[in-house]
């Protein structure tokens, strides 16, 4: 996908909103290391039902990326 394609131009404002939200949450937190959104807390509560063999990424990471991709 080229940088000037319509899909990537629609993606930029969305990514900017995520960056702004992350900065806003970091400013509210007393300790930026423990900044965590409500969405991440809920996704982290989803039980892991995959076997440990061959796992590369934690389930919460996969679910978070899936949520971002659907937005």
Domain spans, the chain: 10-70
pTM: 0.48
Residues 14 and 8 sit within 8 Å (Cβ to Cβ): no
Q: What is the pLDDT of residues 7-48, one digit of tens each?
A: 556 666 777 777 777 776 666 655 555 556 788 888 889 998
1 pLDDT exceeds 60?
no
Cα(63)–Cα(61) distance, integer angstroms: 5
Q: How far apart are CA 26 and CA 20, in angstroms?
A: 10
């Amino acid at each position: 996908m080229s940088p000037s394609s319509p899909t990537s131009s629609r993606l930029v404002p969305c990514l900017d909103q995520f960056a702004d939200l992350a900065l806003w949450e970091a400013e509210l937190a007393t300790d930026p290391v423990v900044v965590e959104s409500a969405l991440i807390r809920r996704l982290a509560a989803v039980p892991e039902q995959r076997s440990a063999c061959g796992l590369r990424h934690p389930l919460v990471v996969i679910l978070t990326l899936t949520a971002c991709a659907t937005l």
